[in-house]
Amino acid sequence: MYKQQDGPVKDHSIQAEQGKGVVLPELLCPAGTPQALYAAVEGGADAVYLGVQSFNARSNARNFSGEEISSAARLLHAYGAKLYLTLNTQLYDRELKGFLETAYEAYERGVDGLIVADFGGAELIHREIPDIPLHASTQASGHSLDMARQLYRMGYSRMVAARELTKEDLFLLARKSPVEIEVFVHGALCVSASGQCLFSSVIGGRSGNRGECAQPCRLPYRCGPGGAGPEYPLSLKDLSLTGHVTELIESGVRSLKIEGRMKSPEYVLGVTRIWRRLLDEKRNANAEETEELERLFSRDGFTDGYYAGKTGRAMLGIRSDEDKSATRSVEPFSGLTRKVPIDIRASFRAGEPVSAEAVMKMPDGRTMLAAAEGEPPLTALSQPMTPDLVKKNLLKLGDTPFAAANVEIGMDEGLMIPVSRINALRRDLIARLEAQLTPDRKAERKEVSLPAAAPAYMSLRSEKRKTARFYRPEQITAEAIRFFDEIYLPLQHFQKDLPEKAGILMPPVVPDHEKRVVEAMLDALTADGRPVMAGNLGQVLWLRERKISPVGDFRLNICNRMSADVLRSAGVCSPVLSPELSLPQMRDIAAFWPDCQVIVYGRLPLMTLEKCVNADGPGCTECGRDRAWLQDRRGVRFPVLREFSHRNVIYNSVPVWMADRKDRLEAARIGKTHFIFSVESPEDVNDVIRMWEQGCKPDFPMRRIQE
């Protein structure tokens, strides 16, 4: 399993290099097509991220083939830029072999880093290809310094911070994180906490965690009760932090990321150019530049609400006809014109092989040198070759990234050199220079070895247990205390006089500025050894350091045996499996780890919102009374409950129901079941328990575990 990193923790902050002068953060730009890649280079990107045709969170983008990845790496490296490949979806067991093969191929084709969300997939890469840097995708829910510390232990070198973090939390990460911190600074925003959205998956079968998001957040909803509030309460304006460039430069953040792999080359070019200019000139955007960014793409302007800690109604926006018309006026991208200057020195001497050298100055100050040789020149019988004619042919670098800034020719008189040989010498020289920039790498491929299933007798002997989470203490009836082996209640609603079997459900999000408050609340409640359920790897590390063995919530997104093994090694106990899995997939993971739990009843939490939907609609009086909901165009209502620190959680309109299919759970050797109670009354709780014990078929709309 993953090995803890040895040696001292590195300081990845920009301040660590201030002795070398001002070090600008990397400008990281998107490319969904080759044309967008050229646009990013033309605009001055320091790095580009893109996806192949599988395992990436933008499966609807055109994406890149294998040979296109090689070409992209050569191109970017010629401009002193880096290439990162997104492999940032949650993985199923049957996909791990192909996932690792894709990582092998990316390594061999010159990719500089992999952006990964699935912890099992990351473990495979770190174990088999340790030389390639791993970046934890924003889908990994990087909300805290503890998460960064845990990722460092697991072999990651960078964390893409959650988009909903405030300036203070981001800058704390940049100063103290043992891994580099990457921050989204421009482009579309998810309204749900990063890595915690099941909305598209549950209501439409298109998983955001699998790169298929249908964007239900962009649809209209009616807020209730009362019906007040905005028509599009979940649709956020695009992010733009161009008003904060100077403080981002000083913050220690290592990489500034522009969103947009589904965007046009014109968008990529325009946004990249403006951000390049602002970084190089070390200033914030002016009004003219902001207007240009809005013309390229906006949803009724931009927001910095998360960054500024102002998560109100002003963050909301939709793509209007006026916005679309403005974008249509943008001048089409005409192609890559930017060239990299090189110096060429060539020697043509009688009796000696012809030779040439190319010298290139890299952006980081390094000098690259390539050399090539050819057959000796011939003695001219009539008209000898001139230095000017040699120079003319050496300058023909047309479809390469290079342009000759200086050409020096050393040449004896009376020589004849066929033009074809000069051209061959030039092509060989450029090929050798590109090889210097993207050296050949060969990975030693190995068979994927998944963790073996536990012996059958262990699965059969595994104790059957029923656990449940409740939203309010009054839902915990006498019947519930009798029926369930463990019960969990959110930290903010927990009471010390609850039965011994009652444990604490950690908030789904605990950014660093809230950690002390949560610590104090937890200390007051866990002295008697109560169980604690955690939904983030950072929380797992933190609880383990406090001598608490955390139970794993479904938000850990366990979708394969490799991830289960990683989380078990990290100290997670009896985790709840991802509700996106089918019953056979749950069976395979439970066969490896019989203590895994499966959700068999309850409304699934679909989104964790940093902003309060109720404040924009019926008001926070209703938010506090937990009577709010969102209603879609079909009249379907989704309950909205208030979470810790005034966040909201949107729940599904119907519950999972498996009471009449307990035989199928048993056939899959799933012995540990989990129930979710959200808006149920105490009477509803008792009815669910009775119907479960009787194996009743429901007479209400419900959701099944896919079989």
Would residue 444 count as lying in a domain? no
Q: What is the CATH number of the domain that holds 601?
A: 3.20.20
Q: Which of 384, 402, 437 is the last residue of a domain?
A: 437
What φ, ψ does residue 675 adopt, rounded to 5°? -115, 145
Would residue 295 count as lying in a domain? no
157 and 114 within one domain: yes
DSSP conformation letters of 316-368: B----HHHHHHHHTSPPP------EEEEEEEEE-TTS--EEEEEEE-TTS-EE
Q: Would you state the pLDDT for residue 444?
A: 86
Q: Would you state the pLDDT for residue 302?
A: 97
Of 466, 523, 531, 528, residue with least CA distance to 497: 528
249 and 389 within one domain: no
Could you tell me where the beta strands, DSSP code E, fall in 138-211?
158-160, 180-187
Q: What is the dihedral of CA 12, 15, 20, 24, to 10 degrees?
A: 80
Q: Would you state the pLDDT for residue 236?
A: 96
Would residue 129 count as lying in a domain? yes
Would residue 484 count as lying in a domain? yes
If you count them, how many residues does the chain have? 707
490 and 613 within one domain: yes
HSE of 208, CA atoms in CB hemisphere, 13 A: 22
374 and 465 within one domain: no
- What is the number of domains present in the chain? 3
612 and 496 within one domain: yes
Q: Which residue has the tokens 């590195």?
A: 10
Q: What is the CATH number of the domain that holds 164?
A: 3.20.20.70
Handedness of CA 323, 329, 334, 337 (dihedral sign): negative
DSSP conformation letters of 17-77: GGGGS--PPEEEEE-SSHHHHHHHHHHT-SEEEEEBSSSSS-TTS--B-HHHHHHHHHHHH
The model's pTM is 0.93
pLDDT tens digits for range 132-151 = 999 999 999 999 999 999 99
Low-confidence ranges of the chain (pLDDT < 70): 1-21, 56-62, 453-462, 527, 621-626
DSSP state of 236: B
391 and 491 within one domain: no
260 and 142 within one domain: yes
DSSP conformation letters of 468-498: EE-SSGGG--HHHHHH-SEEEEEGGG--TTS
Q: Would you state the pLDDT for residue 612?
A: 86
Interatomic CA distance for residues 470 and 505, integer angstroms: 9
Helix (H, G, I), strand (E, B) or coil at 161: coil
**Residues 6+ away with beta carbon under 8 Å from 497:** none
Q: Which of 375, 403, 437 is the last residue of a domain?
A: 437
395 and 464 within one domain: no
Would residue 194 count as lying in a domain? no
497 and 383 within one domain: no
Q: Do the beta carbons of residue 481 and residue 498 sit within 8 Å?
A: no
Q: Would you state the pLDDT for residue 54?
A: 79
Domain span at residue 378 reads 340-437
Would residue 162 count as lying in a domain? yes
Of 524, 523, 533, residue with least CA distance to 502: 533
Would residue 608 count as lying in a domain? yes
pLDDT tens digits for range 574-593 = 999 999 999 999 999 999 99
389 and 470 within one domain: no
Would residue 662 count as lying in a domain? yes
427 and 465 within one domain: no
460 and 433 within one domain: no
